[in-house]
Amino acid sequence: MKTPKRLYAQQRTIYQPEFLTCPHCGDLLELCNYLAWDKTVQTLGGVLSVACRPGRCRHDTCEGANLRLVSAEAQGIALPGSTYGYDVVVRIGWWRQQSHATYSEIHADLSPSIDISASHVRYLHQHVYLPLLACHERQHRDQLAQVAKPYGGLIVALDGVAPQAGEPQLWFIRELLSGLTLRRGWLSQQDQTTFETFLKPLKQLDWPIRAVLSDKQTGLGPALAKVLPKSRHQWCQAYYLRNLAEPLAEADSAFKKDVRKAVRQCLGDLIRQEPRPEPCQAGVGTVTGLLPSPLEAPKGSSSQPLAPEAEADAVVTQLMRHTRTPDRSPYAWER
């Protein structure tokens, strides 16, 4: 078994409760002769050794005799049972959501200053940061009421993020009019039972769900029909448009192949007889930077403009050459 690395705290602090009097009888509290908790916490600013000495009412007959008051400031350093500060948790969540960083990239950024493993970075994001974010977002229920009142309900959208290999899929339920996230969670499976469990809390809202917009996953439609039978359901139109574009792109690719084949049959011999351009600058192509290559006048060039017939031939030949050259992009028709 690997010996855990010992952390050396830069500061030792013992916190006391902010309340000086008992909330029940009003008499002065007395400090206990023991510590409620004592631990080493890693923060972005360094390693701290913190402890909390609780306070209790000195009257055994008081209703708060069994109550132990602790410091609110101490509770704001780290979660109970965690040795990483809130600032570390917030930094992980910020990199994950705003910068879309992977857990390996977050671990590489934290490891020089924080002793943490890549697996624990994942744990802090999924089991600490996301629940804290959900608690914060639940304070916006008044905003939902303002949106639902004029429309008589809410309009929600369901969508999932493409998962990494072997990982659960992250799903969101968002209210479209306000942009608030009602629920987010990791779904290990995408079947009807899992979707029903994920959707059931929507029935606890004070406002009805007027309409639902979602992708066409297997099991999602039956789950919506069972959990929200009175809500209208519509599949996402973006996927319809993408499905319409795919056969058009395939037909366009097949058409270009036929055009290239016809050009080769009619003008292939003529185009092959054209002399290939000599490589300039010993095989060096386009050069960028502070020192570009000097421009050289082409051989046999003159200051007189081309005749209309010669210019037209040059344009047509260039078009035939592009048509003859295969385009490897399946969506070239979009350009």
Inside any domain, residue 294:
no
Q: What is the pLDDT of residues 145-190, one digit of tens each?
A: 888 888 888 888 888 876 666 678 788 888 888 888 888 788 887 7
CA dist 222 → 154, 161, 192, 306 (Å): 20, 21, 7, 70
pLDDT tops 60 at residue 1 = no
Q: What is the pLDDT of residues 36-55, one digit of tens each?
A: 889 999 999 889 999 999 99
Q: Domain containing 227 — which CATH number?
A: 3.30.420.10
What total of structural domains would you count in the chain?
3
The pLDDT value given to residue 335: 37
The pLDDT value given to residue 126: 87
CA dist 9 → 145, 236, 249 (Å): 48, 54, 63
The range of the structural domain enclosing residue 323 comes to: 250-269+318-330
Is 130 within 8 Å of 171 (Cβ atoms)?
no
Q: Are residues 41 and 128 in the same domain?
A: yes
Average pLDDT over residues 269-277: 62
Q: Are residues 27 and 70 in the same domain?
A: yes
Which segment of 115-119, 161-165, 285-289, 328-332 scores lowest on mean pLDDT? 328-332
Q: Are residues 208 and 172 in the same domain?
A: yes
Q: Are residues 31 and 127 in the same domain?
A: yes
The pLDDT value given to residue 296: 60
Neighbours of 311 (CB within 10 A): 11
pTM, 2 dp: 0.49
Q: Are residues 230 and 254 in the same domain?
A: no
Q: Quick one: residue 281, left, alpha or beta (phi over 0 = left, psi -120 to 50 = alpha)?
A: left
pLDDT tops 50 at residue 105 = yes
Inside any domain, residue 274:
no
Q: What is the pLDDT of residues 184-236, one digit of tens each?
A: 788 887 788 888 888 888 888 888 888 888 877 778 888 888 888 888 888 77
